[in-house]
Amino acid sequence: MKKFLIMSAAGLMALGMASAVSAHHAVNAQFDVDKEGTITGTLAKLDNVQPHSFWYFIVKKPGGAVEKWSLEGPSPGNLRRSGIRMKEDMTVGKEFTVWYNTARDNSTTGYIRGVMVNGKRVNMQADYTTPDGK
């Protein structure tokens, strides 16, 4: 009986790990890592969940039109390590400039590479620099 319980527990753990791995994806599967864009918009919502954060912006276009953008970003831990204080810096209703990799389907989605926070550029990846080289 003890052996059965141990094997059952091991099987359930393996099954749980497999579903978590299959849910994760490579950034370059959905986003074009060779194409960058920049938006400036008002942060409408921020879902700070594992394994990625999700940022929602309202972007005003010339002529008054409004676009809703959803951008995927690094994990909450990576955001903190990059120097962003989530509660103090990332306030809903505040305007931000964001550099991102464009979606392969050319939609209003992307993967955040850098963000302007309190007048300072914060790069989300150690190997990334904003388009002006900073």
The model carries a pTM of 0.72
Residue 111: the pLDDT is 93
Q: What is the fold, at CATH topology level, of the domain defined by 25-123?
A: OB fold (Dihydrolipoamide Acetyltransferase, E2P) (2.40.50)
Q: How confident is the model at residue 69 (pLDDT cuts 50, 70, 90)?
A: very high
**40 pLDDT more than 50:** yes
Q: How confident is the model at residue 126 (pLDDT cuts 50, 70, 90)?
A: low
DSSP state of 67: E
Residue 60: the pLDDT is 96
Q: What percent of the chain has pLDDT over 70?
A: 72
Distance CA 115, CA 36 (A): 13
If you count DSSP H runs as helices and E runs as strands, how many of each does the chain have, helices first?
4, 6
Distance CA 41, CA 46 (A): 13
